[in-house]
Amino acid sequence: ATKAFGMSYDEVKRRRSLPEIKQIEKKLASIKDVDQRMIKIVQMYNSEQAPTLEEIGRKFGLTRQRVHQILKEAQEKGLEVARRKPTLGHWIERCKICQQMRKLAARQPLMTTRNIAQTLRIPTWKVYWHLNKLRARDLVPPHFGHFRSERIIEAIKLYNRNPSLSAWKLGQKLGYKNLPALFRELRRRGFGYLLVPRVGNAKDTHSAATRRQGRRISTRQQGLKRKTA
């Protein structure tokens, strides 16, 4: 061996086995990395934020199904994986954003989705996602985050603060063409409870119709006068 290769037999044997050793070391390293990743995934899954499998998958570059498999493997290896109730879905009680939204809804139930996003400093799409989970269990008022326009919310608040101000006059003041009709649409959709009831509602509608009819009669009379002249 010394004459052929310029080194001892043991050295030749060692060098020939190096590729195999490297492969074994690489495999061991990969197993070690998987185990570390598994622990991190379990920790993330068990955290107070209670992220979904999709969110964990995005964090580690895995599919939802693969995250599910890793959690199952972790349980088989004796790692403690939190049991979520319900098993499928979102754990509202452990979700930080959901709890913040519930507190916010209790303080300021009339808010747009944009206001909620700005207050909690989260993207608007997250507001919609968590709102759907909360509404499904009736944990927030149905009008919380329902309106997209701050203008209509301001109109509702002003209307409720000024019992003597009719919807028609308030609409003129705020630049609405027909605020009474808009309020009627709110009642039709089941949001009438947001408007403080008042005796003048029927009168407002009647007076608005009377004014429109009066304008039409006046226009006709002016037309007849022109024809007569």
Architecture per CATH, 2-76? Orthogonal Bundle (1.10)
Q: What are the domain boundaries of the chain?
A: 2-76, 92-136, 150-228
| Residuewise pLDDT in 10s, the chain (229 residues) | 455 545 565 665 565 555 665 665 555 554 555 578 898 998 888 886 667 788 899 899 999 889 999 999 888 888 888 876 544 467 788 889 999 999 999 999 999 999 999 999 988 888 888 998 898 888 999 999 998 888 899 999 999 988 888 888 888 888 888 888 989 998 998 888 898 887 654 444 444 444 455 555 455 555 555 555 5
Which long-range CB contacts under 8 A does 203-209 form with residues at least 24 apart?
203/166, 204/166, 204/167, 204/168, 204/180, 205/180, 207/166, 207/168, 208/168, 208/178, 208/180
pLDDT of residue 75: 86
CATH number of 92-136: 1.10.10
Of 94, 43, 31, the closest CA to residue 67 belongs to: 43
159 φ, ψ to 5°? Answer: -60, -40
pTM of the predicted model, to two decimals?
Answer: 0.47
pLDDT value for 144: 94
Pick from 150, 165, 226, 227: nearest CA to 195 = 165
CA 193/CA 57 separation, integer angstroms? 43
User: Are 2-76 and 92-136 the same fold in CATH?
Assistant: yes
H-helix segments, 47-178: 53-60, 64-76, 96-107, 113-120, 124-136, 150-161, 167-174
